[in-house]
Structure 1
C-alpha cells in the first residue's frame, strides 16, 4: 500500500447544513464606507440556538469582533445581530439572522481600482458547533486622478451608515429591514451617486446622472415593484457630501401582490462619456453580478420549508503514492462522517478510476469507528473495463456527528496500477447515494515503472 499524505475533506454542496447560507450582503462599496451588512440562515439540530456571532473586522479571515444580539427589527448602528426567524422542521430548526457593524477595509486599492476581501462570519451554537461563512466584498478606490489606470474612478453608490443620510431611526435601517405588514417607508432606500470623474474635461466616464435599481426575492424573481431594473435620476458628484441623496418613495409589498420572503435592494451606478455615449466603466444592469446591494427586506419572513432535508456527509480523502506496474495492490481510503440531521443507513456507493488504475475485486471492504480492527465487506459489480465499481447497498449505518461524537466509516476498494499507467496524479472517485449526496476524490501519485 502507498504511503498516505495530508488528508483533505470534501465539502457538502449545501452551506446551510454545515455552514451558513448567505442570503445577501453589502458586496461592493468605496473605501469611504467600510461597513458590514450580512443576512444569513443556518439549519441546526432541534432546539439548538445561537450563542455568539463574530466577524472579521479587517478582512483578515479572523473572526475578531463580537456582535451583540438585539431585538428583532431594532435596526441599530452598532456591532449587532438580530434573529429574524426561527422555523421548525421535522428534524431540524432554521435560524435566519441579520448582522451589521463597522469594518476597517479602507486601504487604497489603486492602481487596481478595487480590492477584494473575504469577511469571515462565525456563528457559535449553544451545542458547541461553529458555523462559518466567508462572503466576499469588493472595495473600490475612493480617490482618482487622470494618471490612474482606466478601471480606477468607476462610479459608485454610497452604503448608508449611522445617521449621515438621515432616515428613521437611522440611515442604515434599510438593510435587514423587517416588515410584517409589507410596508417599507420612504426613507429606507437611499441612493447617493458618486463619480470621482464628474465634471472632468476630456476623460471617459465623466458624467453620472442616473442609476438603475431593483428589488429581487431570495429565489431570484423580481418584486412586482421592479419587474425590470428601474431608471432613477440622481445627481452624480465627486465629493463626499451627502446632500444630493435620493430617497425612494414608500412601497407596500402586500398591496403589490408580492410573495413573502427575503428581498435584496440592488443598484447599478451609471456613467457616460463626454460625447454622451454609455461608458464602459458603468455597471451593467443586465448583469446581476454588477449590482451594489444597498439594502434588504424581510417581508413576513418564514424560512422556506421546502429546503432539502436529505442526507449529508463529508468524506476525508488521502493522497497515495504508487509505481506503474507494481506488484502490490493499493487501497485508496475514504473516511465518511454524517454531517446531516438524519441517520445514514445502507446506501449505493460508486467508485471510479481513470486510465492506468483498475479495481481488482467486485466488493469493497470497510471498517467502523466502534472497532476499527474488524473488517466488513459489501458486494459490488465491476464494469467490463474494471474502472467502475458499483456497490448497491453498503451498510454505513452512520449517526449524525456532533460534539463528543465522532462516528465514521472508512471504505477502501482494492486497486492495481497497470504497467501502462501514465506518470502523474490520478484521481479515484467516490459517490454516495442515489441521488448522490456526497462526492470526493483520492489522489494517486504515480511514478514511472522500471
Structure 2
C-alpha cells in the first residue's frame, strides 16, 4: 500500500504539473480549455470556474491527468473560419507552443527541485571509494586502495552521489575520464590522477548498475564499531563501541565491509582480531555464531559507524548554476541512454516501468524529503525526454506533425494520422511490455 501511495503521489505531481504547462500555454494563446482533470475515466468530482468556465475535475483512474481543449475544426483549409478560441484555429507557432509547454514544464520543475535541494542542503556520503573488484575496469585504472575522489575531469566533487553521476555520464558516453584521487588518510592535498577509459564498453556493460559492474565500490567507512548487540559473539569477545578492527588474522581490515565478509565466511570458527582501542592495540579472539537463516553464514552482532557524511549547500544565486548543470547533465544522460537502447548499444533491461518507479519512490521517501525531491527531479527529466519522442500519442509526435505542416504548408492527411496512431500504439505497447517485464524480472529471486 505504501508503494502504491508513493507511486500515485509521484505520477500525480509530475503529470499534473505537465498538464498545467499545456493549460497555461493554452490560456496564454486564447484557447478555450473545457476541462482539467486529475486522473482519467469517469469524473468523480468536478467544479466549473465562474471566471474561466474551466471544469476542474477528479476522475476515477488516478494515473495522470489531461487537459481537454476546444479543438474546433481539424482541417487546415477551414482554420481561418474557425473560432479563435479553437486549438485548430491557432497559428502553427501557437499550437507548437501549447504542445511543447507540457514537457518544458517538467524540465522547469526538475530545475526548480534541483535548485531547492541545493539551497536547503542535503547530507550525502563523502566521495570515497574502497578497493575495486580485482580484474575490473576500475582496478585496472589503479583504484586498488581506498581513496578520496577529489575531482572528475578537473571538476571538484562534493559527494559520492556527485562523483557517481559524473562518472555514469562519461560511462554511458563511452568517454575517457581523468579522476584525481587521494589515498584515505594521506596528508597530501594534490593526490594523483587515475584514468578510466570507458571507450571499450560493450552493450552488456551498459546494463543495470553500470559503475558497480565495472568495479566501483563505495567505501563503507573504517571498521569502527558503533554498537554491540547484547548476547552476541562480539559482546562475548569483549568488543566495545569505538573499537576499530585493524586485522582479522593476517588480513588487513580497511572497512567494516571487509570484516563482515570474513565473518560471514567463518561461522563457528575462531578468528583472531587486532583491535585499536583508545590508542592501544589489543588482540581478541571471537567465534562468529551461525546465523538463523537458511544460508550457513557467520554473525557477531555489531553495527559499524558507516561512511563519512558531508553536507552540500549553496547560496541561492550559486544554486542556480548548480541546478542548471544538474538538469542539463541528467537530460543529456537520459537522451544518450534512450538513443543507445534504440540503436542496440545498451541493453533493453535499462528500461523501467511503474513497479520500479514505485519501489524507488518508496525507497527515496524513506531517506527523507530531500531524497524524494531528488527522485522527482530525475523522473521529471525522464518525462520531459520521453514526451518529446516522435511517437504520435506523445507530444513529440504532435510536434513532428507540426514540423511537416511547417515544411509543406498543409497538415498531414487523415489517413496518415490514422496510420501514425496505430504505429504509435504498437510502439508504446512494446515499450510498456518490455518495461513491465524488466520490473518483474528484477523482483524475481536471484538463482
TM bucket normalised to smaller: under 0.3
After TM superposition, the score normalised by the length of structure 1 is 0.21
| Structure showing the higher strand proportion among its residues | 1
| Structure showing the higher helix proportion among its residues | 2
